[in-house]
Each structure stands twice: as C-alpha cells, then as structure tokens.
Structure 1
C-alpha cells in the first residue's frame, strides 16, 4: 500500500452522540485527502458497518471494519455499581471474513450478556472470538494508560501479557498518539515505548477521529452535552484535544520521531482484506415434506381454488402459470411458503390480518391465502409487485391486529428457532426541530427561544423529513429571525451541524428477520434499550444487504377493533360475521359515509377526508379505494375533479382513447401509481423496467431525475402517436403523483379494511364504538372525541357501574336505546387485578344488591381506600348511594369490609361485626361541580353532565362549534367559539413577556389556541383552567394541524 498513514480509529455518528461524521462525509473526506484505506471503529457497535463497507467500495477505498470495544473491568457478568461501571477500551479490526464474523459474535455477546451502561466484552469472549482479528491497545483510553498514569507498570504489563496470550505479537499492537489527542502524551509515550520493546509488541500510530474538521469541535462538544443532558457551564466537556480527521501529511508531522508507528498503519491495512458478499438472500428453512419449494408453493396455490370458491378458467390458469414461473425463476418460493405459514397460523388463531402493498396484485398469493383481495376483480397488475426485469427482493407487508402481534412473533420464534428470529433495529436521528431544541438547551439559551425557533420549522412529510436548510427557504419568519437575531443564528448554525446524526437505536415498527441458521451468522444483535426485545444492530437496509429478507409484522389497531367488534356481535347479538365475506354493497354503510360519520374508521376519518366523503357520497368500494389513494399531498388536488365526474358522467374525458382501459373505473382521473406506470407503458412505450425507474425517480423527487424522466416520457408519448401538446398535458397530470401516489393494490387492501370498519359501524354502531373506545383506553383526547361521536350518533355513554361494567367499554342492551358503559379499568387509580376480581365475583354469584353486599363479597387486598374512593368518585357506585355521603363514610366502609372478611376468609376491609349491619352517617351530598370534577379526574372527561350545560342553548345557537371551525374554516378566517379551558400553559418570551397556549373544549371537540403577549395582558384574568370563555380569533393550519390565534376573549355569560 503506497499510503504511509491509514486512520485506524475512526468514529461515525453511529457512535451515538459521541461523534459527528455521517458515513458518506467520512469516506468523502478520506478520498479527498488521498487515503487508500479507512477503518470504521464505532463505540461498542457495528451499526454502520455495511453502509461504510458499501460507501468505501463505491469510492475506491479499502474498507476496514472494526469496533472500538469496551472491556469490562472484571468480567462481563459483573455489574456492581461503583466498580463495574469502570471499563477500558480495545480497538478490534477484522482481517478477513472470520474476523468479521467474530466481530458480530463479540458485539452481540457484549450487548446481550455484558451490557452495563455500555456493551462490554471481556477476556473470555476475546479468547473465544479472536480469530481473524487484530487488536490495538489505544494510547490514552486504555487499561495500560490508566495503569501508567499511576506509575503501575506491572499492572500495565500484566494486562498486555494477557492480551499477548490471546492475539500473540502477530495480531497485537500498542497504539501511540500525539499531544493533539492525548494531553499527557509526552509522559505516556516513553513508558509505552519501553513496554513495546520489553514485550516485542509493535507500535502503531492511532489518532481517534470524532469529527472531520477542527472547527467542528464545538459541535461535537455540544453533542456530548446533549447526550449528558446538561448545558455549557453546568457540565465539563473535553478539553483542547483535537479529534478531527488527520491527513497523511499531518500524521507525518505528529509522528516524525517514530516513523515505524506510521508505517505500521499501512501494514495493518494491507493485512485487512475483508470481502463481503452482499445482497444474496437466504431464506428460512421450512418443512415441505421432501417436496421442492416451487412445487410445494404450486400445490398451495392450486388448493386455493376450492378454498376461495373460485372457478378455474383459462384466464386464471394463464395468470397463475405466469406468476409461478417468475417466482420460481427468482427463487422466491421459500419466502412465499413462510409467509403463507405465518398467515395460516394467524387465521387458525382468529387473528385478523390484511396485507399491504403491491403483493395484492398477485393471484397466486390470493389463492395461497396470503392476500385477501382478488386482483382480477380490481384489475391489479402483478408486475407492480414482482417486476420480471428487476432483481428486487419480494416484499410482503403483513398487518395483524395490534393486540395480537406479539403472538405472531412468538410463533415465528417457536417455529423457526428463537436464535433465528429478531426484530429489526432502526435509528432515531436528530431531526430539525429536535436538534434546535437540544442545541438551545445545551448552549444555555432560554427554553422559550429554542421552542419558538423549533415551532417555526414545518413538519416534514412521510419519507421526506424537513431539514433546517429547507425550512429557512420555506418560512420567511424563520429566515428573518435567523438574519436579525444573533442568538437564533448561533442556535441554527450549531443545530445544522448535528442535524441528521443518529441519536438512539430502537425497534422498527414492523420489520422482523428470520434466518435459516443462527442470526449471528449474518448480523450483530442487541436488546432494544427501552423494551428489552431482541433486535438487529443493522437497520432494514443493512440486514437485506447481509442476506436477510425483511418480514413485516405490523400491528394495526383497527384490525383489533374489527376483531373485537365481530366477537361482541356474536356474544351480544348472536350474530356470526365472516368479516372477509360481508356484502360490499351495503346501503347503510354508504349512507353513513355520505353523512360524514367517519369517527373510528380506518383511513376514512379526519376533517378533510370526512368533508370529501360527504361531497363524494360513495356508492361502491371502488370509491373508497380511490379516496384512500387520493387523500395525500399531490394526488389530493384531483379529488374535486373525481367527485365532479362521479356526479356528472358527461364530464368524463380522456386525453387519449387508450387511457379508457386504464382509467375507466376512476372516471378518467389518474388515481393510482399504477395508472401512471400503465400510461407510461401503454402510451409512452416503456417496459416494466423503465416504468419502475420512473416510479423510483418520482419517489425520490430529485429535480434532475424528474426532468430527465419528463423529457423521455414526453418523447415516448409523441413517438407512440400523441401530439406534443397532449403529451405535455399528460405529464402535468402525472407530476402530482411524485412520491405520494398509492399503488392500486395497496389502496384495494386498505380500502377493504376501511369498508369493513364502516360496515361494522353502520350495522352495529354501539358495539363498534365500544370496541373503538376500548382500543383507545388511556388516550383521554381520543376517548373524548369518540364519546362526542357517540352522542352525535344518539348512543348514550354511561359512567362505570359496579354491576354492569366489565374491564373495557361495553355495550349495554336496552330496548330502543344504544348505550355504552365505561369499563372498570378505565378508572384512574383502579387496577386490572381488582377489576377482574369484582367481575369474577359478579359473574359467579350474581349482581351486588347493595353497598354492604359488595363489601362482604369482594375479597381483594388491592381494593383499598384509594381504589374504593375511585369507584365512588367515578360514579361506579351510584346505584348504592350518594357519592358525597359514601365518601364521608369511607373509613366506616373500610372497617365494615375488613370485619366481614374476618368472618368469611381473607379480604381487605375491617372493623365492625358484619352482623351489626352497615349504617352510614348522614352527610352533605356532592355538588354537581364536584361530581364533574371527579369524573374529569378519574375518567378523563365529563360523563354525567358538562360544565357548559348551562350555556348549551347559547352555544348551540351559534353557527360554529369547534368541530366545524376545524373542518370547514380555512387559514386566516375569523371564528368565534366558546367553551371550557382544559389547559393553560404559559411561557416567557425573549422580550420577557408572557404568552400562552390554551386548549379550549366544547361539546364537539377541542382546539389549541395561541395567545400572544398583547392579548394575554388584555384578558389574562379570564385565562385559568376550567374557565368558561368565548374566544375570537383566526384559524391557523400548519402541518395539517388546525389551531386558533386568539384576538379577543370574554367570559361566557
């Protein structure tokens, strides 16, 4: 290797709040300064290994994969505070594939067995997994340096001797550094050289890299403060050490006195020759009874004709043969068999599923029981799922009822092996808003300033996160603040340096990997820092490169709601519903959607969607599919045209007659991503491969790529018989679908679930809404919205009842009136265990007749004073007496219950003889205000009444309530609404003025209200929690969140 210095201790942002460089920037810097090789040694992990390897290969630099490994002070199993939080470091570099595999196993064991503040290896692991590894003892941060600093040369020597016993002089090196990175380098160096000579361990120059340029040091210091949770002046940051990227020329200057140490870096780089085979997928092993996977899958598909009750025709046989040939050619049959097996288990266990994405375009998967949509009925193309010309991985996204997703993962572990299954890791990064807030705090600025700047940054959209730079271009107010205010400029400039850096690892929302052999043959593992689940250290892109296909197990709340509603319909109404085979032309369902009753529905709720559905008045599931696809940025622009054409077919036109075959079902409106691709193929002469490139270009939204596609596609249109004018018109129709277009199969799959939820709500309203409320338990805001929906549907929502409530929300059968009762576990301070005890006692022996009967029968030690008060205050005991009187006698009730328990076994209450009977003293009844306050405290909302009741007539006379204001009023429109202030939060501005953020609620919903200092000063006497006020202000709609900016206020009267 011609280079005479190679960086061997380089860190990327995957060192999690300890280093700044993104991997492309790191590799670009190495290339710029002429490095032939580069090592990546992140702290204790391999997070960036695959990305780094690929980037180096792309740029013609030899990648050296390693870890800056933490070594336990004693063993990895010792975890005693004050002793084992001390650790040392060892740099490990992979020479070859064996070394890489050992890095994976070492890092996995350090995380799973040795984690104590940090993932720690120990000598036992080094002895077990040292093959193919070169070890470098760091200069300043090692056990050797620690010992030498206290003049304990024997301890330093003993440590090295132990390492020599594992790595030998061939694979062990002593690192040396300069005073630039190690303050006491001049003191340490002679002692290190002496040990090198004594033990024959070669020296190597190692300068740790944590940022690229010297001027990045303040940004890294700020990042360390963010990590530690402190601010400048509160915590110390590292001194004047320079951890920037060192060029070969600079290295020569620093190590001119020890040239052999420089040369050793190149010798080590020459020895590290790891070659990885990436992108070659392996599949889980599934028992096919000795039959080849292709044949086994074909038989599964053939059996599906009878199971699906589908007539075998020439069309179906031709389609299936075509699909199976492509699946066989690509070698994907094992993957399909595993997915079919997982879904078979789900169906057998009654776990509701649906499949997202383009796989619904496959007839084979429909017959195999994988998908639930017949692609022939919806004209779904198979090629959008598996392009014959594209070597892409199969991608089948499985959705399960979210309350049973863990069962599915557990089944996969049992079936395929616990050591072969893990969830995929994903990285949370320093996003634009978060970076600003973190930096402002770390730099010691006032919280209000950081918050103000952050709130001026718009939210990004799915797949396109907002950057600070883009926000400065989009938001004039932010740009002006940046230009005029020095503090703002400091914060933003610093935030831009750390923006995008990895902050933490967590669990991917859906991704699971299943391997044919132990996962550590392919990827390093660890535990999710928050939940303790086994996850890969590689993200979804890296695991695929490592050969592991991602299986998506996504939990969908609406599937849980559907399953719950179906079960309740059978239990309460005696009706058995096959949700996959309900009629798709149900009149009640479409009438309900036309009325805009969309609360609790999948994909169809929300103010904007509801408004469009009321205008559309859908009459078929195709309308629902179209709305699911169109209601997103870009395509949303065509919704009015879609609605107009549905109601007036004379408006339906086609720019080219050939488009009729593609767009007939959507009234001539381009609705799906497939419409774009089929237009490119039919009118532009594209192949499916070219159409796929068009899709990817649209997805990336890169202007240069979009322009290239525009020119190519218009040329194709013209070449295939379209005029230039019409060709350009077609492009203008296609362009809004850049990035956001739904594929038709995905819309059909989600449209079906949306329809199923609407069907259950329309036909079993109280049952369905009870299921929605149960699924949202704990989310006070959503519960409030759903209860308001119930009232609009004339469903009576009742407080909990000791004799009627079960655990969650339940429908109460009553003649002519739909009722839903709060559950016992919805009461704050009331646990699941005691609720189940009450329900079990009542189920076994009948209702509780009175208060004494309840106290005598319930024998649960958790039914203590706090729990009993919660029952009384929430209204659950109203049938036994008046709340105020029962609360005033709470000690007497506790005594009575305990004495009853002493006569009949173990219970929780005590004191008076049960035979004496329960006599409670007179007491003042609770006021209505007290009752409502208790309900709000314990249930999250008012049930038996509302503080606004006395103003109900006044408020209902107004044309506008909060719900209408949010749904119908546009940006800047003036509105007057009245309600109760649920929240009042004040902050101090930079000018030392008070402003506030309010939450105003009426009978229809809630809205956030911003009160700037002038309005606060004028009306602050009105702004207190639970105050009843009328507010005049302007509607603000930022990032699809509707709020109000107050201009005037007065008390309701």
Structure 2
C-alpha cells in the first residue's frame, strides 16, 4: 500500500555534522515505507542534490530538491545578532537576538530549481553572517517555481509566536503568501516531544486556519532510526568540539527526529489529519525533471572567417611544423619516425576531436597555456593521459613527444567512449592565482570558479573522534585505531572481520559502544573544502547549472563535487600548483646569468652523469624521488635510460611493490633472470619493461596486436580491467579469446595471456602520465647533477617557510660540499642566491623581516652602496619600514656578522644605535652637519658608532649561543647544527633519521632516534598525571615524540628545550603523521649520558634484567658488548624465572654511557637496564 505521507523536511549528511542521513540507506528506507516521494532540505546548501535526485529516481521515488535556508530578519547585508547553533530543539529555547530565521524551500519545477540555486548561491556569496542568508527582497525576486514551508521553531512565524508576537507572526504569514502565492505556502507543524513545540503548535494551527493557509506535518529528520539518537548526539559533540559530558553544549532534547513511517506520522497528527495528507498534495505539485549527459562546453571565439575546427587544425599543423624543427634533445632510438608518421597521427587525432566536438575545449586550454607562457608562468610538460596526444604536443599544451615513447591518444580521447575531455595543467605554485585571474577575466567572473570537495570520516578517524567525545583515554583509543589495517577505504566492518582483537573489543561491553558509534559516523561528511586543482568554466552564468558556495578563504566554489559537476554537463579544468616548476624556473634563471646559452629543453636525456648520480642515491630534492623508499628502489635499479625513469615512477606504488613486479623488472634489467614472452608478438610491446606488463597502454597494445581490437576498443577493455566488474570482464574475455583465435592464437595461450593482462592490468599505470612526470624528474636530476648550487638555492627558496625541509636541504648541501652562508645585509638578496663561496641565505627567510623591509634594504644598498656597520645601516635605511624587530632578526641570523661584533653585544645596543641612526637621518633631512659625535654612549666596540678599523678581530662566541639565535630568527641552523657533533655517536647507536621513519613498519619493534628538543608541551591526563609531547629535530627533519606519564615522571628533569636526547621507542603512524612513543629517554652527549631520572649524578652500578630463557647467543653477544666498554662501574645480572629471580655479579666493570646502554637495549629490549647512582 502506497504511503499517505512523505517527508518534506529532512537533513542528509550534507547538513555537515548536523544531519546523519546517508542518501543510499535513506532512499532504501523511503522505498521500504512505500513513500512515493521524498525531499532533502539541508541547511543552507544543495551539496547532495544530484546524488539524492539520481538515487531517488533509480528507486522509483519522486525526488524533491529543497533547502532549509537562512532568512535575515531585515537585509541580507545586515550584520546584527548572534548565533550559537543550527536548530533550537532545547526546552526553553527560541529567544534572544536572532541574525536569521529558518525557512523551507522546495523546487516545484525546473524554474524553481534554477531559482533555488540562485538563492542558495546569493546566500553564500552576499548574505553570509554566521550562516549563508537570503532576505525577503531576494526571495521575492526568485520565488517563482518554489514552495515555501514556515519551518521549525527557528522559522520566523513560530519564533515570533513563541515570543508572544501574534500580530507580527500573522503579518509575516501574509508576506509569505504574497511571495509564494496562496497555493504554494504552508504552515509547518511538528510533533517532536518538546513542550515548547506543543505550545507553538497551539498557536500555529489557529493562525493557519484564520488566514486559510494549508497546514503540513513534518518531522525535521536528522537521522534514520530512533536508535540513532545517541549517535547523533555524539556527532553534535564532534561538530562543536565538546565531549559528551560537557555541561554547556549544543544538544537536542528529543529522540523524535528520525525517519518516521506514515503510520507513526498519522498517529502523531491524529487530531489534524490533513497536515499529513497535505504532504502528498505538495508532492503532487512537484514536476522537476533534470537531464544529465548534455555537455555545456564554454564558448571559444575563433578568428573571423574560421570555425573552431578550422582554427584548431591551423594551429596544430603550424605547431607540429615548429616542433619538428626544434633543437630538442631526444634519447637515441632504435627506430626513427618519419614526418609522415607525425602528419598521419595528427590528422587522425584531429578527426576524432572533430567527431566528438571538442575543438573548442582544446582551443581554450591552448589559450590558457599560451597566456601562461607569454606571462612567464612556468608550465609543466603534461600530466595524465593528455600527454599521449600529438595535437596537445603540437599546440604546446604538453611538452613531451608522445610518438617515440609509444603513448596512445586513445588512452586520452576515445571516439568509442565519448566522455568529457580532461587535460590537466601543472603550473608554478606561485602563479596559480595569477592564472586563475586571467581565466576569470577571459570568460567572466560569473562563468568561472573552483570546485568543492568533501572530507569524510574514515574508519580510524571515526574511532578517534568518537573516543575523544566519549572521554576515553587517548592511549586506549589510539591502540584501537591502530588495529585497523592500513588498507585504502577499509570499513570498520571489514577491519573487524580481519582483526581478532577488534572482534574482542566489539564483544566487550565496556568498549563495544566505541565501535558501534564509530560505525554510525563512518562515511559521513566532516567538512567541505576547495579542490586543489579543479576549476569549472561555463558557457552561461554558473548559477544556470549549479549553486555556488564560499570557501574558507573567501573564494567562490561550486556546491557540487567534481563528479556531480560533470553530471550536470560542465567541464572541469585542472590547474594544479606544482612547487617543482617554480624550483626549475628559478634555477634556470640563475644558470642563464652565468651561462646565457643554456636551454633546459635541449638537455640530453641520455646524459650518463645524471643516471650515475641517481643510481648513487642522490635523490634529495629530486621530483618524485625524495622518499627514502624511492631512493632505495632507484639504487637497486641503477637507471641508465629515460625509459627507466618512466618505469620507476610507475613501479613505486603499493600494487607493483607488493606483487613482485618491481623485483621482476630489476632482475630483467640486470640480466639476472631470463625474460619470457608468451608469444613472439609480445616482445616489441613488453621489451622496454623486461617482460612485465607495467603500463595500461601495454594492455591496450596487446589487445590490438593479438585480438585485433581497435585502440578504442582496447581502451574499453583497459577500463573494464580497472573497474573489475565480473560481468563486464567475462564479456571482454570472451571477445578477446574469440578474436585472438580468429587471429591464429591458440585458445589456451589466449586465455593465459588474458589472465596475465587481467592480473597485471589491475596494477597497470598510465604511461602518458608517468612519462610526462619522468621528464620533470630527469630535469631536476640533471640540474642538481650539473648545476648543484643553483638547484639547491632554488630548492631552499621554494621551501623557505618549511623548517623541516630547510633542515633537510641544508644537510644535503653540506653532504654535497656546498657552503651555506648566513644572511648578510650587504650580499643577500630576497631569496637564496649562488655566490662564489656557496649559497647565501635570502633576507626573506628571516623571521619578522617582511617584504617591505627587504625591498627597503635592497633599494638603499643599491643606491648608497654597502653598509659599513650597524649604525651606518640605521643611518641609511627607512627605520619606519626596518623597525626594531627587523633589526633584531637580522642580528640574530648573522646578517651583521661582517661588523665583527658579537651578536649579543649588538642586541644589547639596538635601541641606542637606532636612536643614533634616526638623529643622523633627521640632520641629513634638515641639511645640518652630522651629529655622529653626539650619538648616545653605547657599550662594546666603537664599531657600533663608526666604521671598524681593519685590525678589529671577531670576538669568539659559543657555538650554542649562535645556534640558538639562528634557530630563533630563521627556524633552523646555519653555522652548525647542535646535533652535528654527535653524528659519529648516532651512527654507532644505529639511530634512525627522522626522514626514514616513514618507511618503517609501525609496531612493537624498538628503534632509536636522536634529536634536539625544539618544543615541549606538557599536559595532564584525566588522572592528573603529567605527560609530554616533544617536537624533536634531527639533521634530516623532525618528529613528534610522546612521553607517557611513567617515563615523564623520571625524565622531566632532563627534557629541556635545545637539549640533545637519545630516545628508544616505537613507531605510531596516524592520519596526522608519524608519532614516536618513547620507552626510554636520556641525554645524548659525547662520552656518556644521564639516564632519565638521574641527571648529573655518578652511576654506581649497572643492573641488567634477563629472562631465564635467554639464548647462549644473546649471552655471548652481551658479554662481547660489555667488554667493548671497559670502565669502573660494576655490572649485575638479574635473571628472572617463573616465581623467582637471581642476582649475579658477573665480575665486570664498564663505562656506563649512553652508547653502551642504547646498544644493550637494542640487544635485549627497552627498559631492561637500570643505573643506580650514589
């Protein structure tokens, strides 16, 4: 029996962290209740409209697209009142200053849908104040095709009635009737169990009847089942950052906001049955049919007298002619390609582009790239499958010739599978906004915006969020989250099925609720943000196709995610900011200053020195090769040709690494295993990858050669393998084998080859993308190998705001023998620069030194020459732009070291020197004689007041004092890293560099790290115990170290900022990065160490605890280890056996330093060594 009720006020998960209804189960429930229609009315947005519409349609249910909008009491431009949360489902709520009301809008038809999109867009772009708001003026303008409901307790009419303003409420109702029309405005009533709602209903119903306004019943659904009330409350806590036991927090004082059946709703409104049946009346008024699949390409105007197809052909042919004449180095090839091959390929690609109607798209991309290049904006050589297009190469959209590398156009654009074109554009990170500004000017601000993306709660995040809200101990929640396997998109149900410890937790009454609630949170939207690359350009104003939203930085973005943007027929363009392009451009500019003929496009791609450099592991700073795992792989591979780099980028992924493909490739390359081809026809296809099916293009070529598939058909096969749909794969396999047999391939051989294609095809990578990125990889490697100073200077400049990266790159410079010089007000430019001695720090890298100060210093120096002293500096520069904080930063960083004064002395006299400089500047402005002699007295060398004599020598400073100042002013060290003196000791300890931690498996295995404490954050546990989070920095980066209460209790005295520590512990990988959980902690020094808890005391004895089952090998190793540290501290063994322990004096004395203790713990385990002191 068809239901006599439909829900018209309902929040999906896109009322972010307020609504819990995921669309698929919601539609399933509506179908189960036999409801003929269903509405979605999320708060202030239409995020989920397309997903909701399509799923409802597939289920045979009429979708009603709506929105619970926020309505400003007066003008949407007013900024008055205050707000705390979305709804007011608390007893006694509804009073106080109100910056907005709630109002339900439903799109009755296509015009209503367009008007709803416009209203929601205006609310976000013009009316945002706490929430995105419209006003009655704009509502009136775009009311056609809309149905209005008066809303919940926060609606204007119930809000006024609750305050006792009956006349004002009645006037508001009359206004809404005028706006919507009498047939399209309804008084909304609810029965949610709240007394305040019953009170308001008793006023709403008479008002409606008096004014002949139809009444409609809703339930403001926020969750699916009544049992979800607890989970919804937890979600509200996540939204507000509160815990469940917080006394003052947002909460709903009802458990009735679930998806009720028609029977439940009829029972709730038994006294006013027409309120229920009116929901069907509204559903009958809805006649909205959206169309999908129609492409709305932005318009490109070609030159007069030419069609877009003609203009594209002209540009492509001219571009190809130019390309073939370019002096671009290409690796040597066994087969050369004639001009005819290029012309034929170009012609066939143009024919496909013409057939599918994408000429305008190519012209738009060409225009954007052309502008970027003419404006000096670095553009990448290509990304994704578009690198396989010769037309794109001829137009200059990509910069890698696809023909020599066997890249396929059909992988990019297939006339047998027409889908929106997708050319991704990499541009310099620093110029992305500049290029977006050009696109906006070119096509119009109402035709261009970026694309939204939604972050959802994954399994581990849900566990952590819920655990925090439930006030469970961090350590316990962390351990449970760690039990979830690191598998992409794994669900909690899947994790519980795989992990027995999770099953035990699920069965433990004390902890089961955590998993139950986390499963209810899983997959819900947690936040909206701006997609890193996606941009949409439309033919008509964007609000004709979709609603708009304002991002957190004020940028205008779509309300529909990328997949929905494409469904409504808009084409997205990817403009991805790539930092490496900035590095390359900056390096090349510096190179050309000394080598004017240098041209990056002409570097030889078969340069032996570059491959040798990579094979030796010189990958720090190299695009895509920086990780230690990649460095290990490239050293194993020892690349010798450009194709090896292409393969390397395709191989370093979980699939190939886990399947053995990588090992097979390396063995084949080095001749350590025989390369086997199932058929001779496969050799030309698989030779470059030593018999391994590595690329998707190889799958396509095999289907083309063996089974006579067209490349378009082969692309369909490739896509089917990627989707892994059983029925589709069965059909493709049957087709492949049938055609292969017809091509004289034995059936069993055809089956075997298809199975191999299917297996390896699942790991196959897009060769076009890999090849394009390999070119960037090679370019960075070539620059680092042949122009190391320029490359590293550019690299340091690009990361000047990232202390961890700077530390790593300075360490790499020192390894390369490049001297890093501190900032100098006479020699430094804005950025890092190459000088005769090495690389000079840039002034912009100094903290508190802004762009205006840098410009002022450089301009003054250019006009007046070098500064002779700090005083001379203060006499010349504008002290309004170069203030005290700037000068202090310059001093601390070493920018005045040429003055031969201790930095401490300079800092002590900053104010006096600035005062003297200001007096001098005033006298110069008034044309009076210099008042140098009247400068205030200052301490220290007279160089503060006048230029130094030639005989002045540098006063020695403690290295730690200099290091501390450099760290404070720059965020890192230049003169010397405090940890550098311990490098040999750290090597002895087998300390793991922090940069390598990412490649270790997390777990119980103890490892050792050494570093300087940069920051200590002490917190209290719920039990009142203190624990600490340390920011530990070594020569390669940094890591967060967690010191739990038991260890912190004894270690606190030796944890000091700037102190070097040796820490043993275990690795913990989270969504927020790597954490290192300390098990032991001691000071690191050159000879010995103070153990946690007994600093600065003499060690009287060393106690080592062993279990009775310790092996003879372990005992021999321990004996040998102790013998290597002769000294005066006696060693005792405490041997533990079941029920008893025995102490043994082993008659051995040692030197009890950090190296010995660390080595013992690495041998027998953490916490097994105790030092007693006297």
TM norm structure 1: 0.92
Aligned length: 1038
For 2:108 and 2:781, the matched residues in 1 are separated by 60
Deviation at 1:829, TM superposition (A): 2.3
Question: Which residue is equivalent to 1:467?
Answer: 491
The answer to whether 1:94 aligns with 2:94 is no
Question: Which residue is equivalent to 1:587?
Answer: 608
Residue 1017 and residue 191 in structure 1: after superposition, are their counterparts in 2 closer, same or farther (change >3 A)?
A: closer
After TM superposition, the structure 1 stretch with the greater mean CA deviation from structure 2, 170-179 or 942-951, is 942-951
Question: Which residue is equivalent to 1:271?
Answer: 285
The answer to whether 1:74 aligns with 2:90 is no
**Deviation digits for residues 608-644 of structure 1 (CA, Å, limit 9, x no counterpart):** 1111112222111111011011111112232222122
After TM superposition, the structure 1 stretch with the greater mean CA deviation from structure 2, 322-331 or 397-406, is 322-331
Secondary structure in 1 aligned to 2:403?
helix
After TM superposition, the structure 1 stretch with the greater mean CA deviation from structure 2, 57-66 or 991-1000, is 991-1000
1:53-452 aligned within 5 A: 53-82=53-82, 85-180=98-193, 182-234=194-246, 235-290=249-304, 291-309=306-324, 313-354=339-380, 355-452=382-479
**Deviation digits for residues 235-290 of structure 1 (CA, Å, limit 9, x no counterpart):** 14110241111212222222232222222211211111111111211111111124
Question: Which residue is equivalent to 1:519?
Answer: 542
Secondary structure in 1 aligned to 2:79?
coil
Deviation at 1:1040, TM superposition (A): 13
The answer to whether 1:927 aligns with 2:958 is yes
Question: Which residue is equivalent to 1:864?
Answer: 883
Secondary structure in 1 aligned to 2:207?
helix
| Equivalent of residue 903 in structure 2, options 883, 896, 920 | 883
Question: Which residue is equivalent to 1:793?
Answer: 816
Residue 534 and residue 847 in structure 1: after superposition, are their counterparts in 2 closer, same or farther (change >3 A)?
A: same
Residue 657 and residue 891 in structure 1: after superposition, are their counterparts in 2 closer, same or farther (change >3 A)?
A: same
For 2:212 and 2:275, the matched residues in 1 are separated by 14
- Contact 2:240–2:250 (CA<8 Å) still a contact in 1? no
Question: Which residue is equivalent to 1:607?
Answer: 628
After TM superposition, the structure 1 stretch with the greater mean CA deviation from structure 2, 876-885 or 950-959, is 950-959
Question: Which residue is equivalent to 2:665?
Answer: 642
Question: Which residue is equivalent to 2:1114?
Answer: none
1:804-815 aligned within 5 A: 804-814=827-837
For 1:49 and 1:299, the matched residues in 2 are separated by 43
- Contact 1:398–1:552 (CA<8 Å) still a contact in 2? yes
Secondary structure in 2 aligned to 1:169?
coil
The answer to whether 1:4 aligns with 2:4 is yes
The answer to whether 1:541 aligns with 2:563 is yes
The answer to whether 1:568 aligns with 2:568 is no
State the superposition RMSD in angstroms: 3.2
1:709-788 aligned within 5 A: 721=745, 724=748, 727-728=751-752, 731=755, 734-735=758-759, 737-738=761-762, 741-788=764-811
Residue 448 and residue 72 in structure 1: after superposition, are their counterparts in 2 closer, same or farther (change >3 A)?
A: farther
- Contact 1:327–1:333 (CA<8 Å) still a contact in 2? yes
For 2:1071 and 2:222, the matched residues in 1 are separated by 36
For 1:649 and 1:307, the matched residues in 2 are separated by 44
1:867-1016 aligned within 5 A: 867-880=886-899, 881-905=901-925, 913-916=931-934, 920-922=938-940, 926-955=957-986, 962=993, 966=997, 978-982=1010-1014, 1000-1003=1032-1035, 1006=1038
Q: Which runs of 5+ in 1 are unaligned?
A: none
For 2:238 and 2:429, the matched residues in 1 are separated by 34
For 1:892 and 1:8, the matched residues in 2 are separated by 73
Question: Which residue is equivalent to 1:616?
Answer: 637
Secondary structure in 2 aligned to 1:376?
coil
Secondary structure in 2 aligned to 1:386?
coil
Deviation at 1:465, TM superposition (A): 3.2
After TM superposition, the structure 1 stretch with the greater mean CA deviation from structure 2, 751-760 or 1000-1009, is 1000-1009
For 1:202 and 1:727, the matched residues in 2 are separated by 68
Question: Which residue is equivalent to 1:830?
Answer: 849
After TM superposition, the structure 1 stretch with the greater mean CA deviation from structure 2, 856-865 or 766-775, is 856-865
For 2:456 and 2:1062, the matched residues in 1 are separated by 42
Deviation at 1:1027, TM superposition (A): 3.0
For 1:645 and 1:652, the matched residues in 2 are separated by 6
Residue 185 and residue 949 in structure 1: after superposition, are their counterparts in 2 closer, same or farther (change >3 A)?
A: closer
For 2:71 and 2:1006, the matched residues in 1 are separated by 64
Deviation at 1:999, TM superposition (A): 5.4
Q: Which has the higher contact order (CA 8 A, sep 6+)?
A: 1
Question: Which residue is equivalent to 1:1028?
Answer: 1060
- Contact 1:72–1:84 (CA<8 Å) still a contact in 2? no
Secondary structure in 1 aligned to 2:560?
coil
Deviation at 1:792, TM superposition (A): 0.9
For 1:678 and 1:1045, the matched residues in 2 are separated by 50
After TM superposition, the structure 1 stretch with the greater mean CA deviation from structure 2, 182-191 or 608-617, is 182-191
After TM superposition, the structure 1 stretch with the greater mean CA deviation from structure 2, 893-902 or 150-159, is 893-902
Secondary structure in 1 aligned to 2:960?
helix
For 2:730 and 2:1081, the matched residues in 1 are separated by 52
The answer to whether 1:559 aligns with 2:581 is yes
- Contact 1:611–1:967 (CA<8 Å) still a contact in 2? no
Bigger Rg, which one: 2
After TM superposition, the structure 1 stretch with the greater mean CA deviation from structure 2, 118-127 or 694-703, is 694-703
For 2:727 and 2:1034, the matched residues in 1 are separated by 50
Deviation at 1:711, TM superposition (A): 8.7
After TM superposition, the structure 1 stretch with the greater mean CA deviation from structure 2, 1-10 or 681-690, is 681-690
Residue 366 and residue 244 in structure 1: after superposition, are their counterparts in 2 closer, same or farther (change >3 A)?
A: same
For 2:407 and 2:1079, the matched residues in 1 are separated by 53
For 2:874 and 2:175, the matched residues in 1 are separated by 69
Residue 250 and residue 450 in structure 1: after superposition, are their counterparts in 2 closer, same or farther (change >3 A)?
A: same
Question: Which residue is equivalent to 1:802?
Answer: 825
Secondary structure in 2 aligned to 1:163?
helix
- Contact 1:568–1:767 (CA<8 Å) still a contact in 2? yes
After TM superposition, the structure 1 stretch with the greater mean CA deviation from structure 2, 687-696 or 510-519, is 687-696
| Equivalent of residue 486 in structure 1, options 485, 510, 513 | 510
Q: Which runs of 5+ in 2 are unaligned?
A: 83-95, 326-336, 942-954, 1088-1174
- Contact 1:48–1:538 (CA<8 Å) still a contact in 2? yes
For 1:86 and 1:1044, the matched residues in 2 are separated by 47
Bigger share in helix: 1
After TM superposition, the structure 1 stretch with the greater mean CA deviation from structure 2, 957-966 or 235-244, is 957-966
